[in-house]
Homo-oligomer: A and B are copies of this chain.
Amino acid sequence: MSAATEIQFYDIPSKTKSNAWSPNTWRIRYALNYKRLPYKTIWIEYPEIAPTCKKIGAPPSATKPDGSPYYSVPFIYDPKTRKAISDSIIIIQYLEKTYPSSPERSLIPSGTWALQLAFIDALFAPSVVFPLFQFAVPRSASMLHETSVEHYLEARRELFGGRTLAEVDPKGEDRVLEWKKVEKGFGVVNSWLKPEDRFVGGEQIIFVDFVLVSVLRWIREIWGEDSSEWRDVSSWNEGRWGNLVKDLEEYTTVL
């Protein structure tokens, strides 16, 4: 496949070995790999996001409180259709519609789209995965290249409520309590699944599996595979989360 027809997939680099780290872009990388679509990652730092989007015609993914457009990754440009698409939710719909898989490999099986969107809302709820952010955001910031840090944090100010990065990261007794919330949150996700379910949809891989596993990869990336934190997470709920990362490992090529 010549470079001219490859999907251009925009992502933020980092100090990690593979460059890739963001759970928001990973969910689309998983999907591109799973669908075996030819693509090429284009690495851009945070300050380049808005100018690049404007250049290729990728729309903003949201509006800032002051009314100005907010541009973010992931966004893609598909030379075959000459379309630029932003926002993982819109990108996955575009990919499934433009490059449909067989029903058994569809990431959006018929009748599941509203359910998958609700799942994503439920997953990032305050009582579910949200408590992870206070741990993960300060550590993500330290994985970024200098030029990206300020932009990354700017978009996450709300989480901080005026606190510094060091203050956000829980310490001491607070750390124990907040980490317990993370465990409880994954317990909620576990309660949705049947013990025998490998994936959210049972045996078939669907888009929300990639959303979920991208959060798990993020945890592993931040603390490292041998950390006590990853040992915790990968052992919770009878090892379900460690197994999910392993089961989807074949779709993690960084192209």
Contacts and interface: CB of A to CB of B under 8 A. Distances in A.
A191 B111 contact: no
B201 A118 contact: no
Say how many copies of this protein the assembly contains. 2
A121 interface: yes
A208 interface: yes
B202 A115 contact: no
A154 B114 CA distance: 35
A204 interface: yes
A120 to B, nearest CB: 9
Q: Which of A111, A119, A123, A128 has the most CB of B within 10 A?
A: A111
A114 B204 contact: no
A227 interface: no
Contacts of A122: 118-119, 121-122, 125
A115 B201 contact: yes
A199 to B, nearest CB: 9
